[in-house]
Amino acid sequence: LRLSLASLGEVPAGVDTPFYSRDDLSAGIVHFGIGNFHRAHQAIYLDDLFNLGLDRDFAIVGAGVLPSDALMRERLAGQDYLTTVVEQEAGRSSARITGPMIDFLPPGNAAATIERLADPAIRIVSLTITEGGYFIDPATGVFNPAHPAIAADAAAPEAPATVFGLILAGLKARRDRGIPPFTVMSCDNIPGNGEVTCNAVAGLADLIDPALAAHVRANVAFPNGMVDRITPATTDREREILLRDFGIEDTWPVFCEDFKQWVLEDHFPLGRPAFEKVGVTFVEDVAPFEHMKIRILNGGHATIAYPAALMDIHFVHEAMEDPLIRAFLRKLETEEIIPVIPPVPGVVLADYFELIERRFSNPKIGDTIARLCLDGSNRQPKFILPSTRDRLKAGAPVTGLTLVSALWCRYCEGTSDSGRIIAPNDESAARLKQAALAARSDFRAFLALTDIFGTLGDDPVFARSFATALESLHSRGTKATLEAYIGGRL
C-alpha cells in the first residue's frame, strides 16, 4: 500500500493511523530541519496530543533551508506529509502513521518562508538542524559572526539563506506589523540550546540593526530543552522491512527505539501545546538534565563509535556485544564521566547509565556506527572535551577520555585497523586527515587543531596521556589498547 491520505482507510491491520483528519488541523509551528529525529520526537508528541483531541491548531509546517531539503519535501509532499514511524523494542516493533505536518515550504524561497513566519497563527518556530548548524566556534563555544554564511545574510537581510537569517527576518516582519514574536525552540543536542539559538539570532541582528537585536534579546523566548530518542538514518533496509513486515510503502519512513524523553523549560509567551499531557517534563532549569544526557549518552556514543569503526563493526548493538567495547564504555562512564556530573533532581546517574547501556544494546534499532562517527569535529568539543576539562581542573585522571580523543584521531586517518577505507564524513575531513597523519610522527599535530581542542594541547597531563594512547593505537592496534586501558595498564 502506497502511503497517502487517500489510502489511509486501507492501511493493513496492526498499523495505527491518526484519529484526526487533515481538516481538523491548522498551522501553529514552523519547523526547520525536517529530518528523521524531528519526525520521531516532536512530531510524535504532537501526534499523541492530536489523537487525544487536543491542541490541533499547533500542526507543523516544515521549512527547508539546504538544497538537499528539496528532495525531502518532494518525497513527503508525494505522500501528503504523512510519515510512518516504526518504534522498536528488543522483542517487538510497532508501526504508526503520523500526520501532524500539513505543509512543507521548499528551500530557496525566502520571501514565502518569511511570510509564513510572520503569520500570527505561528506561535512556535522549532529547529533540529544538527549541532553543526549553529555557527558556533567550537573552541570558544560562542557564535561566530564572521562565518561567511552569516556575513552574507547580514549583507542581504531581506533575502537570507540561513535558518537564523530567516528567523530574524520573520521576527522583524512581526515587529513591524505589531505581531508579537513567536517562541524559538531548539531541539538539537547542544548544551544550552536555547541560549545558543538566541546568540545566533541576536548575533546576526547585531550585524544588521542594533534595535532589532535589542528587540530579540528583550522579547523573544528561547526555552532550553533536552531531547532524547535514538533515531538512525533511513536506508533501503528500513524501506524494505516496512514493506515486508507491515505492507506499507513509504518513501522516507523513520525507525527509532521505543524510548523517548523531552525535558523542557516552560517559556512560551504565545502559548504552547499541552505537551505535559503526553509525557514531556517541564522544569525550571534544564541544564542538569542536558548535562547528564549529553555527557553520558552522546559522550557514550562518541566513546564506542571510533573503536568500533576501527574494528570494522557495522551496527551499534554489535559494538555493544563486543566485550572489549562494552567494558571500555562502562569503565570510562563510571570512573571518569559520571563522577564529574553534578546531581540531577530525581535521577540516580548509575541507573541512567544502565538504561543507556540497554538502549545501545537494542538489536532492533539498526543504528550504525557510521552515523555515530559523523561530524566528529562538532561532536568531540560538545560531548567529550568538556568532561576532560572538568577532570583536569579537578586534578583527576583523564586516561579514558584522552583515549577517546586518540581513537578519534586514529579514525581520522581514514582507514580501519584492517586497512578498510573509511569514507570522509566531516565538514573538516581533509584537515582532520592531514593532522591525523602528521600525528603519526608528532602527536602535537592533532592537538594543534585549536578550533577543536582549544588550549587542551598545552595541558601536560592531557598531552602526555594523548601521546601514550595514540602511540599504543599505532603500535598495538585498537583491541590491545582497549585491553590495556581496561586492565589499568595504559
Burial per residue of 238-257, b for 16 or more beta-carbon CB atoms within 10 angstroms, e otherwise: bbebbeeebebbbbbbbbbb
At 9, list the grid cell. Answer: 482507510
Stretch that binds ligand NAD, among 26-34, 166-174, 311-319, 391-399 (CB under 6 A): 26-34
Q: Does 69 bind ligand NAD (CB under 6 A)?
A: yes
Q: Are 288 and 344 in contact (CB under 8 A)?
A: yes
Q: How far is the CB of 316 from ligand NAD (least distance, A)?
A: 11
Q: Which residue has the cell 500539513?
A: 102
Q: Does 194 bind ligand NAD (CB under 6 A)?
A: no
Please report, as residue ranges, which positions from 129 to 188 form the binding site for ligand NAD (by CB under 6 A). Answer: 129-131, 133, 163, 188
Q: How far is the CB of 419 from ligand NAD (least distance, A)?
A: 29
Q: Does 66 bind ligand NAD (CB under 6 A)?
A: yes
Q: Does 372 bind ligand NAD (CB under 6 A)?
A: no
Stretch that binds ligand NAD, among 83-91, 127-135, 136-144, 434-442 (CB under 6 A): 127-135
Q: Are 25 and 59 in contact (CB under 8 A)?
A: yes
Q: Of 189, 368, 377, 387, which lies in the binding site for ligand NAD, with binding defined by CB under 6 A?
A: 189
Q: How far is the CB of 148 from ligand NAD (least distance, A)?
A: 13
At 300, list the grid cell. Answer: 557514550
Distance CA 25, CA 58 (A): 8
Q: Are 39 and 254 in contact (CB under 8 A)?
A: yes
Distance CA 227, CA 264 (A): 8
Q: Of 35, 339, 363, 414, which lies in the binding site for ligand NAD, with binding defined by CB under 6 A?
A: 35
The DSSP secondary structure of 234-302, one letter per residue, reads: P-HHHHHHIIIII--B-SS-EEEES--EEEEE---TT----GGGGTPEEES--HHHHHHIIIIIIHHHH
Q: Does 192 bind ligand NAD (CB under 6 A)?
A: no
φ, ψ at 329 (rounded to 5°)? -60, -45
Output the CA–CA distances (angstroms, integers) from residue 293 to 191, 261, 296, 297, in the order listed: 10, 10, 5, 5
Per rule CB under 6 A, count of chain residues that contact ligand NAD: 25
Q: Does 126 bind ligand NAD (CB under 6 A)?
A: no
Stretch that binds ligand NAD, among 46-54, 124-132, 274-282, 458-466 (CB under 6 A): 124-132
Q: Are 87 and 93 in contact (CB under 8 A)?
A: yes
User: Which residues neighbour 351 within 8 Å (Cβ) at sequence distance 6 or greater?
Assistant: none
Q: How far is the CB of 163 from ligand NAD (least distance, A)?
A: 5
Stretch that binds ligand NAD, among 12-20, 64-72, 200-208, 478-486 (CB under 6 A): 64-72
Q: Are 3 and 97 in contact (CB under 8 A)?
A: yes
Q: How far is the CB of 65 from ligand NAD (least distance, A)?
A: 4
Q: Does 65 bind ligand NAD (CB under 6 A)?
A: yes
Task: For residue 326, count other CB atoms closer than 10 A to its CB.
Answer: 17
Instruction: Decide the pairing of beta strands 183-186 and 124-127.
Output: parallel
Q: Which residue has the cell 512560551?
A: 268
Q: Does 278 bind ligand NAD (CB under 6 A)?
A: no
Q: Does 230 bind ligand NAD (CB under 6 A)?
A: yes
Q: How far is the CB of 418 from ligand NAD (least distance, A)?
A: 28
Q: Does 251 bind ligand NAD (CB under 6 A)?
A: no
Stretch that binds ligand NAD, among 4-12, 63-71, 115-123, 431-439 (CB under 6 A): 63-71
Distance CA 9, CA 354 (A): 42
For ligand NAD, give the closer residue by CB, 344 or 445. 344
For ligand NAD, give the closer residue by CB, 56 or 291. 291
Q: Of 33, 160, 273, 457, which lies in the binding site for ligand NAD, with binding defined by CB under 6 A?
A: 33
Q: Does 128 bind ligand NAD (CB under 6 A)?
A: yes
Q: How far is the CB of 392 from ligand NAD (least distance, A)?
A: 26
For ligand NAD, give the closer residue by CB, 128 or 478. 128
Stretch that binds ligand NAD, among 123-131, 140-148, 327-335, 350-358 (CB under 6 A): 123-131
Stretch that binds ligand NAD, among 225-233, 284-292, 343-351, 478-486 (CB under 6 A): 225-233
φ, ψ at 433 (rounded to 5°)? -65, -45
Q: Does 30 bind ligand NAD (CB under 6 A)?
A: no
Burial per residue of 259-283, b for 16 or more beta-carbon CB atoms within 10 angstroms, e otherwise: bbbbbbbeebeeebbebeebebebb
By Cβ distance, which residue is nearest to ligand NAD?
35
Instruction: Give the binding site for ligand NAD (CB under 6 A).
Output: 32-38, 65-66, 68-69, 128-131, 133, 163, 188-189, 227-231, 233
